Amino acid sequence: MYEVIQIRLREGGKTQYYELGNTKPKIGDTVVVEADRGLDYGDAISDVESVPKLTGEEPVRKILRIATAADVDQIKKNREKTREAFTTCQKKIIEHGLKMKLIEAEYSFDRSKLLFYFTADGRVDFRELVKDLARIFKARIELKQIGVRDEARLLGGFGPCGKALCCATFLKDFEPVTIKMAKEQNLPLNPAKISGVCGRLMCCLGYEHKLYVELLRGLPKEGDKISAEGIAGKVVSVNALKRAVTVDCGDGKYTEIACCCPQGCKLHLRKK
């Protein structure tokens, strides 16, 4: 078995599992880890987990050490160098006339790799740009095109709830979010109300989706004609949390019918 924890690489890098080895980092600790070429750093964002060692698969990389004072100083210097690299790259993008928006730059811990994130409407031929940057910084250059959700994760910020963005704090991966989730939660289908700072549907719409699906099971839908408890009419609204429906009985009369049946309401609320 491996003893592993999740590490978010650098400031906005991807999250992945690393083997503890002889280290015992806690959530929030900065650590130095093995990388593709050389060393990298990141922050621990989970408790210890045990996973089986699977033969035939690439071994989990190791955490080498919890960051020392010297390591932290190196990271700070890297961030300063990164700001210089960002400015230089922006100038080179303009010189080459490339239609791309530079979002972020990151150095690996040992400065062997310099990574630039950018957005663009389509594919960009940045081969000459890479050659220029490699000549200037004497490091392996990697340019990565990202989407608007990744851009929000990198830049950070606050959501409509007033809290830091989920994607920039604890989310490991982006899960699919659909407009159907908003409909099932009876939310207003106003893009300004259900979209995040990235302009896409808010990730939090998916948090309670399974619960709403369970609560709606067996309940009639809006527009269904039903009869129940001696009342007949058309369903005009459904309240999943209360497991109740509001029925238009005609003549301007509306009645709410609640269901206490955990298996659903098919016996109680019959379609006409």
What is the predicted pLDDT for the residue at 125? 92
Q: Are residues 6 and 32 in the same domain?
A: yes
Q: Is 268 exposed, middle or buried (0-12, 13-18, 19+ CB in 10 A)?
A: middle
Q: What domain range is 109 assigned to?
A: 72-146
- Domain of 87, CATH number, reads 3.30.300
pLDDT in tens, 164-205: 898 888 787 788 999 999 988 988 889 888 999 999 999 999
pTM, entire model: 0.70
Domain boundary residue, one of 146, 166, 181 = 146
pLDDT in tens, 217-260: 888 888 888 877 677 888 888 888 888 888 888 877 888 888 76
Q: Say if CB 67 and CB 30 are below 8 A apart.
A: yes
Q: How many domains, the chain?
A: 4
pLDDT in tens, 55-85: 445 567 888 899 999 999 999 999 899 999 9
- Domain of 238, CATH number, reads 2.30.30.60
Q: Are residues 17 and 53 in the same domain?
A: yes
40: confidence class by pLDDT, cuts 50, 70, 90: confident
Domain boundary residue, one of 158, 182, 210 = 210
